[in-house]
């Protein structure tokens, strides 16, 4: 019964874009600029907009609380299992959470005003290619629960999701104080077995310094989802952001979309941490010498712009002993990252087997002696 329900949900979770040949619903074909009809096999082209990817003024957007063309009203359903907020298509009334498998229904949805995505990276890897990458990754996992192997045979467990991200551009002007360390050598006399000898000893001369550096940052990428393990999601990088295309809902056909949970201003706070790391590298180069110490940094951020983008990921979730483990495939590069469960029974058996082998070797050695 459960399998029938899942099949029905998958069949209704299509975007409402009709095939020009037979009128059936279409799905975006990964690795192309076409919409494909599962009913008649026809491929319908997507007319990609010939326009520049717009950068939005960060300060102006926040101060004016922009509405209208930069925002949209959507219905999101928050998963009771993991907290993910998923956008439902108009013709979908229920579905399963791609992040943990919990059932969700649209009557529990919430209307909210969100910033529109202005660009995206379309899927390149289709479900078959992504699933093969996923299986290769799973085969490398030692001491995984036996149920995970069965899970790895179910291609339908992998779901295509567009994940929300922010990108930030900024020019920075940073003043600093610190110290510069320059190494020098002195000759030192010492006694060795009654003999007087000399040696060169390295010392460091420290001088106080201050200065100013400038940096230019482009497309600092910040994950706007709280549903994925951030450390693992970050390892899906790099993303080919130079190939972003203007947002078009046709690319979403057949896939799900998560709405952002990290707000615009909070995302920029995260971007500052990344920028600060690079700024400190620049400061150390500016200080020069053999060693550097940074005491204070005061940074002004200018000409800040942002983009709200959607990036394609194949996601699967495996539940083991009441804990959910998430696996992700970068749908542009095939890079796989994920959390993995351990079977402590298998580990214990391996330890026992290892001890038995060692014991057998020791026994044979003693017998030979």
The residue that leads in pLDDT, 291 or 231, is 291
> Does some domain include residue 198?
no
Highest mean pLDDT among 18-22, 124-128, 282-286, 314-318: 282-286
Give me the number of domains the chain comprises.
2
> Does some domain include residue 197?
no
What is the bridge-based pairing of β-strands 56-57 and 291-320? antiparallel
In terms of Cα–Cα distance, which of 19, 7, 1 is closest to 250? 19
Write out the two tokens for 339: 């959390």
Q: From the CB of residue 307, how many other CB atoms can be counted at a distance below 10 Å? A: 21
C-alpha atoms less than 13 angstroms from C-alpha of 127 in its C-beta half-sphere? 14
Confidence of residue 202 (pLDDT cuts 50, 70, 90): very high
Question: Is residue 369 scored above 80 in pLDDT?
Answer: no
Statement to judge: residues 116 and 240 lie in one domain: yes
Domain containing 368 equals 343-369
Task: Give start and end residues of each alpha helix (H) in 86-177.
Answer: 127-139, 146-151
> Does some domain include residue 248?
yes
- Dist. CA 283–CA 117, nearest whole Å: 35
> Does some domain include residue 195?
no
> Over the stretch 140-199, which tens digit does the pLDDT of each residue have?
665 555 555 555 555 456 789 899 999 999 999 999 999 999 999 999 998 888 888 899
What is the bridge-based pairing of β-strands 159-192 and 256-258? parallel
Statement to judge: residues 353 and 297 lie in one domain: no
Statement to judge: residues 359 and 243 lie in one domain: no
> Does some domain include residue 187?
no
Statement to judge: residues 213 and 350 lie in one domain: no
Write out the two tokens for 283: 């400061």
CA distances for 100 relative to 63, 78, 141, 230, 254, angstroms: 37, 12, 20, 16, 19
> Does some domain include residue 200?
no
> Does some domain include residue 190?
no
- Dist. CA 108–CA 200, nearest whole Å: 76
> Does some domain include residue 186?
no
Q: Is 144 helix (H, G, I), strand (E, B) or coil?
A: coil
Question: Is residue 213 scored above 80 in pLDDT?
Answer: yes
The residue that leads in pLDDT, 142 or 305, is 305
Question: Is residue 279 scored above 80 in pLDDT?
Answer: yes
In terms of Cα–Cα distance, which of 35, 40, 34, 38 is closest to 21? 40
pLDDT reported for residue 322: 62
Statement to judge: residues 307 and 333 lie in one domain: yes
Statement to judge: residues 350 and 300 lie in one domain: no
Average pLDDT over the chain, rounded to an integer: 80
Statement to judge: residues 278 and 246 lie in one domain: yes
C-alpha atoms less than 13 angstroms from C-alpha of 65 in its C-beta half-sphere? 1
Statement to judge: residues 284 and 364 lie in one domain: no
- Dist. CA 327–CA 94, nearest whole Å: 23
Statement to judge: residues 360 and 262 lie in one domain: no
Statement to judge: residues 309 and 362 lie in one domain: no
Statement to judge: residues 271 and 303 lie in one domain: yes
Statement to judge: residues 67 and 80 lie in one domain: yes
CB neighbour list of residue 179: distance below 8 Å, 6 or more residues apart: 206, 207, 208, 209, 287, 292, 293, 295
Residue 176 contacts residue 210 (beta carbons within 8 Å): yes
């Amino acid at each position: 019964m459960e399998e029938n329900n899942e099949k029905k949900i998958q069949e209704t979770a299509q975007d409402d874009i009709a095939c020009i040949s037979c009128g059936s619903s279409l799905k975006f074909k990964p690795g192309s600029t076409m919409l494909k009809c599962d009913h008649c096999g026809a491929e319908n082209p997507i007319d990609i907009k010939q326009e520049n990817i717009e950068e939005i003024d960060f300060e102006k957007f926040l101060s004016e609380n922009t509405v209208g063309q930069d925002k949209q009203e959507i219905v999101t359903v928050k998963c009771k299992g993991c907290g993910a907020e998923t956008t439902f298509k108009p013709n979908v009334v229920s579905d399963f959470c791609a992040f943990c498998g919990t059932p969700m229904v649209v009557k529990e949805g919430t209307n909210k005003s969100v910033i529109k995505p202005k660009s995206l990276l379309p899927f390149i890897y289709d479900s078959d290619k992504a699933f093969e990458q996923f299986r290769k990754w799973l085969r490398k996992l030692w001491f995984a629960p036996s149920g995970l192997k069965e899970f790895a045979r179910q291609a339908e467990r992998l779901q295509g999701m567009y994940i929300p991200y922010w990108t930030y551009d900024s020019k920075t002007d940073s003043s600093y104080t610190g110290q510069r360390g320059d190494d020098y050598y002195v000759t030192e006399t010492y006694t060795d077995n009654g003999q007087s000898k000399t040696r060169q000893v390295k010392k460091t001369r420290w001088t106080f310094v201050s200065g100013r550096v400038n940096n230019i940052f482009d497309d600092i990428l910040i994950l706007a989802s709280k549903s994925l393990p951030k450390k693992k999601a970050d390892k899906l990088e790099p993303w080919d952001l130079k190939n972003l295309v203007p947002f078009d809902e046709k690319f979403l056909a057949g896939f799900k979309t998560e709405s952002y949970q990290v707000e615009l201003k909070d995302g920029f706070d995260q971007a500052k941490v990344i920028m600060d790391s690079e700024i400190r590298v620049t400061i150390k180069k500016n200080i020069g010498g053999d060693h550097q110490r940074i005491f204070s940094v005061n940074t002004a951020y200018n000409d800040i712009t942002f983009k709200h983008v959607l990036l394609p990921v194949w996601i699967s979730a495996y539940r083991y002993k009441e804990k959910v483990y998430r696996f992700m495939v970068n749908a542009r590069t095939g890079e796989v990252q994920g959390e993995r469960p351990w079977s402590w029974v298998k580990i214990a058996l391996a330890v026992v087997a290892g001890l038995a082998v060692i014991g057998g070797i020791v026994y044979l050695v003693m017998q030979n002696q």
